[in-house]
Structure 1
Amino acid sequence: MRLALDIIGQTFRILWAHKLRSFLTMFGIAWGVGSLLLLVGLGEGFRSGNRREMKSFGEDIEFVFPGRAPAVAGNMSSGHPYKLTIQDAKDIAQLPHVRSASPVLQREDIREVSEFGNSNGQVVGILPVFNDIRYLPLSKGRWLNDLDETQRRDVAVIGDEMVKNLFPDKQNPLGHQILLNGRSFEVIGVVQRVGKGDENSTNNRVFIPFSAMHTYFPLKQSQEDNAVSFINFRPITHDDHAVAMKEAKSIVARNHGFDAANDDAFEAWDSAKSAEMVGKIFDAMNVFLGGVGIVTLALGAIGIINIMLVAVTERTREIGLRKALGATNRSVLAQFFLEGTFLTLFSGGLGLIGAIGFCALLAQLPAPDGFDTPRVVPMSAAVAIGTLALAGVIAGLYPARKAALMAPVDALRAE
């Protein structure tokens, strides 16, 4: 025990005697660890923010949009545009792997006016089941129901930003009337704010029953009376998203007279597929950043090996004298091994603390849209600590072994 304390005390005295060299060596390791954890933390913040944005948009949502059908198979230049219809939505809703579907009528040229203000947001006609496909929680009132749809009621659910525009004095909008191109609708609900910033268009929308939208505000410049802007649907389970999309494309192709195998004729979007793609991008980014960090740590370990080899060379006569006075190979080995390991692990710990502190500082700042506060990822910290431990062993063991194997006579003769 006494020997161990002597070795530790001597290690600190030697490191203190070479303050600048020790500091520069430790700074390289601390910078590498801090950079690794901070970069991965920033990537994780971006991943988390993107996942949150996707979740606020809705999970397992699939879209089918109007497309262009080829007049001749395989020749899109001779094709003609087609509109989706109410019948397409009904057929998709009956598919075995589809949980629910809603046609959507959407227009941006309808002026919204209240007795307190006006706005130019989107007006969207949907079925009540729309909120089962894309869940939009309400801060006030209720959602559209089946009676609103079947009785073609003039009622509306409005977004948070629309409330600010139409009711700037922050009055409770429930029960108030708004005019959509001059037609009066009663506000029955307010959608809770979606997302952090002002870019989410859901906050500036007016949702009305599909039947009312279809009657009073059908799509312009459409020869099809039952044309819709697009169709939203949701598979029964997450694993069904690919087969549900395939079935929906088959329905659209059958109804509009073209081959379902022609992918160019479809305009579609699958949130689950997009989420998987984004996840793979972030996984690749984390692997890259981790590789960069490990290389940085390895370079730092090489620096420590070089410094320790210089220290062994500088202290050759000291080593010879200690061994001549009875120091064992084991004690000399422990001395230099402890110095190298301490330099590595202590500087790595400083890097870890620095990364945590910097992330805590960033947490006090407002995060941009689609980005969450960066945080130290436990797995990255574990990898960094494991790599540091290995680097410390290597950086300390090789120079220490070289010092321990010196012959006392040769060491004392060294200049």
Structure 2
Amino acid sequence: MFDRDRWGEIFEAIGKNKLRTFLSGFTVALGILIFTILLGLGNGLLNSFLSSFVDDAQNIIFIRGGNTSKAYKGFQENRRIQFKNEDFEFIKSNYIGKVEFATPRIYRNGSAKYKKESGSYSIRAVHPDHQYLEKTIMMNGRYLNESDINERTKNIVIGRLVEKDLFKNEKALGKMLNVDGIAYKIIGVFQDSGGDNEERIIYMPYKTVQLLYGNNDHIDQINLSYNMAMSTEQAIAFSKKIEEDLKEKFKVAPDDQSAIRVRSFAEDIKETMVILGGIYMIIFVVGIGTLISGVIGIGNIMTFSVKERTKELGIRKALGASPRSIIAMVLQESVLITSVAGYLGLILGILALKLIGNNLEEFFILNPKVDTGIIMTATLVLIFFGLLAGYIPARRAAKIKPIIALRDE
């Protein structure tokens, strides 16, 4: 393997046949390059999908009300389904053991003012469980608690950018903030990995908002997280069970799709994984096809090489070269070309993905990268098959009879 003379002969043979070597190496490098880029783009699609979970629990279920689309049990169509506190309690008490956290949501926009600074911000009225559903990270102070809900306190939690906008270099914790003409005490400042919009939100106790902004018990939305012990199929079945129970509670037709909408991330995950599975299968087929074409190219080139060097190989055998040494020389040349070209294709593929970067976000491809281990494995597999591709012509070379080879023109 480390015979200097043999390596010298291999490089000499390669040097004499530059075009042949280039063509055989090109097919291998192209195969790895295409495989790397396709796999990276597939991973970019997966990253784009996973980014939608960055600031929400992955086991979350959203429940929203709408308008009925058909008459049912004496009720007319276009009836507004309005959730109330009792519906939130219905969810909490009816599915004990299946629900981890649950919160109502009430949406508002409000004008906040501190000294001379002011701005418009999103207001979300929530239950303390919302912290775990939204993956809210407290920087200072605390989140809302049960006492804030039951006592309808005027305590609020503000986002990092709300503090930055209104308080400048001051610390907001413990200060009073005027929101829509009402003074609230800031008990916490949070950060959120969901982006700037998620950090320009003000959280309030939902019962406080119900009292101050309408004196009712209306809820816009109910969010909950299911027990992580559930499988994806069980989670989907659970979300459908909630939808069926709520439709029965509100006297909504079972096939009415617009009155009560229940969406589970489990369904999104399942649908997306099916799509991604199809994409990865296409990538696999195309990639493997390209790699196989490279292997076939190596085999053809090595066959041509052996035929071209028939006289040379015959002289070697006439001078005492063993069949094993002839096979080893041909295989070493095949492996050398495959290895160098394969790793060159790998490097070019990784560089291409780095150049692409996040320029394909509009096509839902985010941070397209590849696991180097996977690509290295693919390259090693390619080298192995390159070895096999070179073995057939190598065997043919080993069987050349010196007398016949010397007659070859």
Shorter-chain TM-score bucket reads 0.7 to 0.9
**Is structure 2 residue 223 aligned with structure 1 residue 232?**
yes
* CA–CA distance in structure 1, aligned partners of residues 365 and 136 of structure 2: 18
Amino acid of the structure 2 residue aligned with 1:34: L
Percent of aligned pairs with the same amino acid: 26
> How many equivalent residue pairs?
401
Q: Which runs of 5+ in 2 are unaligned?
A: none
CA deviations 1:246-299 (Å, max 9, x no partner) are 332233213311244544543121122212332333333233223222222112
**Preserved CA contact (<8 Å) 2:141 2:188:** yes
Shift of 1:151: 1.7
How far apart, CA to CA, are the structure 1 residues paired with 2:40 and 2:372? 6
Task: Describe the SS at the equivalent of 1:383.
Answer: helix
Match of 2:159 in 1: 159
- Give yes or no for the alignment of 1:205 onto 2:201: yes
In the alignment, is residue 11 of structure 1 matched against residue 7 of structure 2?
no
Counterpart of 1:222 in structure 2 is none
The aligned counterpart of 1:258 is 252
Tell whether the 8 Å contact from 1:44 to 1:377 is kept in structure 2 after alignment.
Answer: no
Indicate yes or no: 2:182 matched with 1:183. yes
Cα deviations by residue, 1:197-254 (Å, 9 ceiling, x for unpaired): 54xx3222110011111122249xxxxx432111111223351523432332233213
- Deviation digits for residues 62-106 of structure 1 (CA, Å, limit 9, x no counterpart): 0110123344359x9944332222211110111232233221110
Contact residue 138 and residue 189 of structure 1 kept, 8 A = yes
Deviation of residue 373 (structure 1)? 6.5
Contact 1:124 / 1:205 at 8 angstroms: preserved in 2?
yes
Matched, 1:303 2:297: yes
Aligned partners of 2:206 and 2:126: how far apart in 1? 4
Asked if the contact 2:160/2:191 (under 8 Å) is kept, the reply is: yes
Instruction: Write the distance in 1 (CA, Å) between the matches of 2:20 and 2:178.
Output: 75
Partners of 2:135 and 2:192 within 8 A in 1:
no
Range with bigger deviation, 273-282 or 61-70: 273-282
User: Is 1:248 matched up with 2:239?
Assistant: no
Give the letter aligned to residue 203 of structure 1. Answer: E
1:280, 1:238 → 2: CA distance?
22
Distance in 2 (CA, whole Å) between partners of 1:380 and 1:285 is 18
User: Is 1:323 aligned to residue 317 of structure 2?
Assistant: yes
Query: Residues 127, 359 of structure 1: CA spacing in aligned structure 2 closer, same or farther, 3 A cutoff?
Result: same
* Counterpart secondary structure, 2:53: helix
The equivalent residue for 1:120 is 120
Match of 1:385 in 2: 380
**Residues 159-188 of structure 1: CA distance to partner in whole angstroms, max 9, x if unpaired?**
223233323x24211122222221121221
The answer to whether structure 1 residue 104 and structure 2 residue 105 are counterparts is yes
Q: Kindly tell me: are residues 84 and 120 of structure 1, through their superposed partners in 2, closer, same or farther at Cα, counting changes over 3 Å?
A: same
**2: CA distance, partners of 1:322 / 1:241:** 71
Q: 1:113 to 1:367 in 2, by over 3 A?
A: farther
Q: 1:264 to 1:360 in 2, by over 3 A?
A: closer
Q: 1:376, 1:236 → 2: CA distance?
A: 32
Shift of 1:314: 2.1
Q: TM-score under structure 1 normalisation?
A: 0.85
1:112, 1:190 → 2: CA distance? 15
- 1:116–1:35 CA distance, 2 compared to 1 (3 A): farther
State how far apart, in whole Å, the 1-side matches of 2:63 and 2:228 are. Answer: 18
Q: Are residues 1:408 and 2:405 paired?
A: no
Cα drift, residue 46 of structure 1: 4.5
Deviation of 1:356 after TM superposition, in Å, equals: 5.3
Query: Which residue is 1:339 aligned to?
Result: 333
Amino acid across the alignment from 2:164:
K
The Cα RMSD (Å) is 3.1
**Is contact 1:345–1:389 with CA below 8 Å preserved after alignment?**
no
SS at 1:94's partner residue? helix
CA–CA separation in structure 1 for the residues paired with 2:251 and 2:120: 37
Question: In structure 1, what is the Cα distance between the partners aligned to 2:331 and 2:146?
Answer: 76
Q: How many angstroms apart in 1 are the aligned matches of 2:341 and 2:116?
A: 62
Q: Are the equivalent residues in 1 in contact too, given 2:112–2:118 (CA < 8 A)? A: yes
Contact 1:62/1:271 (<8 A) preserved: yes
Contact persistence 2:138–2:190 (CA under 8 A): yes
- Cα offset for 1:366? 11
Asked if the contact 2:160–2:189 (Cα under 8 Å) also holds between the matched residues in 1, the reply is yes
2:351 aligned with 1:352: no
- Distance in 2, matches of 1:317 and 1:18, equals 16
SS at match of 1:140: strand
Equivalent residue for 1:139?
139
**Aligned-partner Cα distance in 1 for 2:37–2:169:** 41
Secondary structure at the residue paired with 1:54? coil
Question: 2-side partners of 1:77 and 1:301: how far apart?
Answer: 69
Paired with 1:125 and 1:411, the residues of 2 have a C-alpha distance of: 90
- SS of the aligned residue for 2:178 comes to strand
CA distance in structure 2 between the partners assigned to 1:400 and 1:190 by the alignment: 72
Q: TM-score, normalised by structure 2?
A: 0.86
